[in-house]
C-alpha cells in the first residue's frame, strides 16, 4: 500500500506504474483516492476548528453563568452560547462519523493500488515476458529416458496417490519410506544451511487472523490461495511468510535490532485454482506441502542488498544438491501488487528439457509494513517503515522432482549428494524396490 501523500503529490507517476503493470482498470482508483483524501482532510480540519471553538464557547458559558448570579441579563446570553455549543457538538458528531467512513473508503481504495515497481523490472503483461538473467551449473540433456516423477517415487514404494484421493481428494499425497525420509532430509538440510548463514530458525503459527492476511497480500492473491476456517477469524497459511511478517504487526522495532534475518518452517495450504497440464500433476501443484522460508526485515536502504543475498542463497543451496538452476527476472505484469521486485529461481528438469520454478524471491518495500504498521525507531528517535523481503529456501515435494530427476541413474538408483548424507543415515544411494 502506498503512502497517500505520495499518491497526492505524484498522481501521474502512480498512473504510469499502473499502466506498466497492465492494470488500466485500476486507473480511476488514483482520482478516487485523491478525492477521498481531500474530503477526509477537509473534515478533519473542520472538526479540529469546531473542537477549538467549542472549548472556547464552553468556557464562555461558564463565565456567563457565573456573571448571571449578579446580572440576570447574562443568563439569556449564556443560553444562546449553549445552543451554539450544542449545534457544534452535533456537527462534530457528523464529522467524526464522516471521518470514519472516509477513512474506510480511502483505505479500501489504497489497498487496491499496486506498489511502485523498481525501475529495473522488465515491462511485460504476463510471465511469458520474464527475463532469464543467468544460469548456474550445466543443464545436461539426459543420456537415458527419465520417467515421470511419480513413477520414480513409485519405484521406491515412496508415494501413494490413490489412497490420498480416497482420503482427501485430488492434490494430496502420501509419501512413504525413503522418499518420505528424503523429503524431511531436504527440509532439515535447508534449515541448517540457513542457520549457518546467520538466520534465526523459527516455527510460526500455521493459522492467522484475517487482518494479517490483508496485511501481507493482495485481495486477488488471498481469494486464489487461502483456505478459511469456517466460523472463525482464522486462515490456513499459504506460506510461513504470512505469519512471520504478521509477528510484527503494530510493533515498533529498535533500529539496532535490524536486520531481522529469519528462516521458518511450516506446512503450506493452497487452493491452487484452475486446470493444469501433465507436468503440473502428480506432486507439482498440490493443496498441501512443507516449506523452509527466508524472511528479512531491514532498513529501506538495505533492502536491495538483501534481495540479492536471498536469491543467491537459493542458488547456492540447489547447487550443493547437484541441481542446475537459473535466475528469472519477473516482469511488471507478473508481479503481485505488493511487490517492488521479484525473481524466480528455476531448476533444470532433464525429463522436460527445460527449467521450472522452485523458489520465488521478492522485495516488498514498505508495502506490508504500511498495512501492518510495522515501524522502526531510528537512532534519532524518528519512526519509519521497515522493508520486508522473502524467498523460498526449499519447498518439497516440488523440489524433490528436481532432485530425483537430476540425481537419477540409468539403473534407477538415485545418488545422495554428500551434504545430504548425514540426514539420510549415511546413505550414498537410494535403491529402487519396484522395477
List 347's β-bridge partners, or say none: 325, 356
The answer to whether the Cα torsion of 216, 222, 225, 227 is positive or negative is positive
Residues 268 and 158 in one domain: yes
Are 92 and 47 within 8 A, CB to CB?
yes
Domain stops at, among 52, 76, 110: 110
Q: 254 with 364, same domain?
A: yes
* Residues 320, 179 share a domain: yes
What is the average pLDDT across 17-40? 97
Pairing label, strands 383-385, 387-394:
unpaired
Task: Identify the CATH number of the domain in which residue 141 sits.
Answer: 3.30.930.10
Give the residue numbers spanning the domain of 84.
4-110
Annotated catalytic residues are 270, 285, 357, 360, 398
Is the pLDDT confidence value at 121 over 50? Answer: yes
Is residue 121 included in any domain, yes or no? Answer: no
Domain-located, residue 420: yes
The confidence score (pLDDT) of residue 152 equals 96
Sorting pLDDT into bands at 50, 70 and 90, what band is 149? Answer: very high
Mind listing the pLDDT tens digit for each residue in 401-425? 999 999 999 999 999 999 999 999 9
Domain assignment of residue 120, yes or no: no
Section 16-22 average pLDDT = 98
Cα–Cα distance measured from residue 88 to residue 431, given in angstroms and rounded to the nearest whole number: 84
How far CA 184 is from CA of 191, 199, 284, in Å, comes to 11, 20, 17
- For 335-389, how does the pLDDT look when each residue is reduced to its tens digit (9 = 90+)? 999 999 999 999 999 999 999 999 999 999 999 999 999 999 999 999 999 999 9
* Domain match, 133 and 100 both: no
Number of compact structural domains in the chain: 2
The CATH number of residue 8's host domain is 1.10.287.40
Tell me the β-bridge partners of 174.
160
Q: Do residue 94 and residue 218 come from a single domain?
A: no
Together in a domain, 79 and 151: no
pTM > 0.85: yes
d(CA 415, CA 429): 5
Residue 435 within a domain? no
The rounded percent of the chain whose pLDDT value lies above 90 is 80
Residues 162 and 74 in one domain: no
Claim to verify: residue 327 and residue 209 sit in the same structural domain? yes
Q: Domain check: are 259 and 407 in the same one?
A: yes
| Same structural domain, 152 and 245 | yes
- What pLDDT score does 168 carry? 93
Q: 337 lies in a domain? A: yes
Does residue 75 lie in a domain region? yes
Among residues 60, 78, 110, the one where a domain terminates is 110
| Amino acid 61: pLDDT | 56
What is the H or E stretch that residue 350 is in?
none
Would residue 115 count as lying in a domain?
A: no
Residues in contact with 220: Cβ distance below 8 Å, sequence separation at least 6, in sequence order: 337
Asked, for residue 400, whether it belongs to a domain, the answer is yes
Band the pLDDT of 67: cuts 50, 70, 90.
low
Domain boundary among 110, 145, 172: 110
- Per-range mean pLDDT, top range of 56-70, 180-194, 277-291: 180-194
Question: What are 230-265's pLDDT values in tens digits?
Answer: 999 999 999 999 999 999 999 999 999 999 999 999
> Could you give the CA distance from residue 188 to residue 316 in angstroms, rounded to a whole number?
16
- Looking at the fold, whether 135 and 97 belong to one and the same domain comes out as no
Is 98 in the same domain as 132? no
The number of beta carbons lying within 10 Å of the beta carbon of residue 284 is 17
**Predicted confidence (pLDDT) at residue 86 exceeds the cutoff of 80:** no
Amino acid at each position: 500500500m502506498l503512502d497517500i501523500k505520495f499518491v497526492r503529490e505524484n498522481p501521474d507517476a502512480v498512473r504510469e506504474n499502473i499502466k506498466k503493470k497492465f492494470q488500466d482498470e485500476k486507473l480511476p482508483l488514483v482520482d478516487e483516492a485523491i478525492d477521498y483524501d481531500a474530503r477526509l482532510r477537509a473534515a478533519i480540519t473542520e472538526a479540529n476548528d469546531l473542537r477549538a471553538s467549542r472549548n472556547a464557547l464552553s468556557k464562555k458559558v461558564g463565565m456567563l453563568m457565573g456573571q448571571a448570579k449578579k446580572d440576570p441579563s447574562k443568563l439569556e446570553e449564556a443560553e444562546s452560547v449553549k445552543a451554539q455549543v450544542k449545534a457544534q457538538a452535533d456537527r462534530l458528531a457528523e464529522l467524526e462519523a464522516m471521518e470514519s467512513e472516509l477513512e474506510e473508503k480511502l483505505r479500501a481504495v489504497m489497498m487496491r493500488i499496486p506498489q511502485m515497481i523498481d525501475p529495473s523490472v522488465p515491462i511485460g503483461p504476463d510471465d511469458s515476458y520474464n527475463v532469464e538473467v543467468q544460469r548456474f551449473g550445466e543443464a545436461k540433456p539426459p543420456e537415458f529416458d527419465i520417467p515421470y516423477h511419480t513413477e520414480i517415487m513409485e519405484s521406491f514404494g515412496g508415494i501413494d496417490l490413490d489412497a490420498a484421493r480416497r482420503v482427501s481428494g485430488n492434490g494430496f499425497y502420501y509419501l512413504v519410506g525413503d522418499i518420505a525420509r528424503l523429503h524431511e532430509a531436504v527440509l532439515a538440510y535447508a534449515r541448517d544451511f540457513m542457520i549457518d548463514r546467520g538466520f534465526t530458525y523459527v516455527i510460526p503459527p500455521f493459522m492467522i487472523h484475517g487482518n494479517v492476511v490483508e496485511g501481507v497480500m493482495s485481495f486477488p492473491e488471498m481469494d486464489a490461495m487461502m483456505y478459511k476456517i469456517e466460523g472463525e477469524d482464522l486462515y490456513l497459511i499459504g506460506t510461513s511468510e504470512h505469519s512471520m511478517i504478521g509477528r510484527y504487526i503494530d510493533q515498533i522495532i529498535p533500529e539496532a535490532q535490524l536486520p531481522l534475518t529469519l528462516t521458518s518452517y511450516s506446512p503450506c495450504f493452497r487452493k491452487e485454482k484452475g486446470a493444469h497440464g501433465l507436468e503440473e500433476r502428480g506432486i507439482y501443484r498440490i493443496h498441501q506441502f512443507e516449506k523452509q522460508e527466508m524472511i528479512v526485515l531491514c532498513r529501506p536502504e538495505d533492502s536491495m542488498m538483501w534481495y540479492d543475498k536471498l536469491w543467491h542463497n537459493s542458488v547456492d543451496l540447489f547447487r550443493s544438491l547437484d541441481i542446475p538452476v537459473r535466475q528469472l527476472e519477473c516482469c511488471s505484469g507478473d508481479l503481485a501488487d505488493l511487490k517492488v521486485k521479484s525473481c524466480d529461481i528455476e531448476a533444470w528438469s532433464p525429463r522436460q528439457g527445460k527449467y521450472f520454478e522452485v523458489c520465488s524471491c521478492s522485495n516488498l518495500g514498505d508495502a506490508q509494513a504500511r498495512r501492518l504498521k510495522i515501524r522502526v525507531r531510528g537512532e534519532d528517535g524518528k519512526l519509519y517503515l521497515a522493508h520486508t523481503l522473502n524467498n523460498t529456501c526449499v519447498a518439497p515435494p516440488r523440489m524433490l522432482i528436481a532432485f530425483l530427476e537430476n540425481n537419477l541413474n540409468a539403473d534407477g538408483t538415485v545418488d545422495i549428494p554428500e551434504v545430504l548424507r548425514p540426514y539420510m543415515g549415511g546413505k550414498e544411494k537410494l535403491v529402487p524396490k519396484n522395477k
